Amino acid sequence: MTRIDAKFAELSKAGKKAFVSYIMAGDPDFDTSLEIVRGLPGAGVDIIELGLPFTDPMADGPTIQLAGQRALEGGMTLQRTLALARAFRETDNTTPIVLMGYYNPIYSRGVDAFLAEAKEAGIDGLIVVDLPPEEDSELCIPAQAAGLNFIRLATPTTDNKRLPRVLQNTSGFVYYVSITGITGAAEAQAGDVAPEVARIQSASGLPVIVGFGVNTPEKSRAIAEVADGVVVGSAIVSKIAAGESVADTLAFVKSLSDGAHSV
């Protein structure tokens, strides 16, 4: 059982929904980023989604793109991202970390080397948005063999014909993208999300976490009411981009997690 599996078992037993926060590793700099990540569990975060900076983040809107640029300009790399996770693990051995990014840096490093290093650094799962199920032999299957969950995205355009293929080797949870488009582009609507979540839950048997378009405590609560949990990314990254203090950023995260946990 991975930390992700254990976390969902714990939440289910307590009758709680999951709150997942996305942070770009190295934004605005390594030390501040690490301080924020270390503060996330205390702010009510159940699972940390750690962004791997990349030069061509095709699924992300301007907010996450700019965060990646800031991190890259500050010298952030795949190796330093794993170093950040390793530093977090010095004081927290229970909160799951999902590394979210794109395949190019992993491919450049070499899959076997990357998986060994990620496992050693305390990474629990991967979301690699530009590797479709047809390429599962590239990374998904080796990752699962290494003990990492491979988390797949489903979207409003993932129809019943496509869904079984998407779910085939997915583990940990399914990340449902609530809108058609990029991160931060529109607001998620609970009424639209609810039937899709039910459809995916029925097909997969896995928890379904909803992200993209969740930006307030009220929206966090509304989405958590119809899903197994909620992800917030751009709204948190916007606070970091605005230069807000670590304390203020974490207070905002706490307001969002309180929304999700109030269901």
Q: Is 136 a catalytic residue?
A: no
pTM above the 0.85 mark? yes
Q: Is 138 a catalytic residue?
A: no
Tens-place pLDDT, residues 81-127: 999 999 999 999 999 999 999 999 999 999 999 999 999 999 999 99
**Backbone conformation region of residue 172, classed left if phi is above 0, alpha if psi is from -120 to 50, else beta:** left
Beta strands in the chain (DSSP E): 18-24, 47-51, 97-101, 125-128, 149-150, 153-154, 174-177, 208-211, 229-232
Cβ pair 247, 238 in contact under 8 A: no
pLDDT of residue 186: 64
List the catalytic residue out of 27, 46, 49, 196. 49
Cβ pair 186, 213 in contact under 8 A: yes
Cβ pair 148, 119 in contact under 8 A: yes
List the catalytic residue out of 5, 60, 136, 228. 60
Cβ pair 103, 130 in contact under 8 A: yes
Cβ pair 174, 152 in contact under 8 A: yes
Q: What is the dihedral of CA 217, 223, 225, 231, to 10 degrees?
A: -80
Tens-place pLDDT, residues 116-137: 999 999 999 999 999 999 999 9
Tens-place pLDDT, residues 129-164: 999 999 999 999 999 999 999 999 999 999 999 999
Average pLDDT for the chain: 95
pLDDT of residue 181: 63
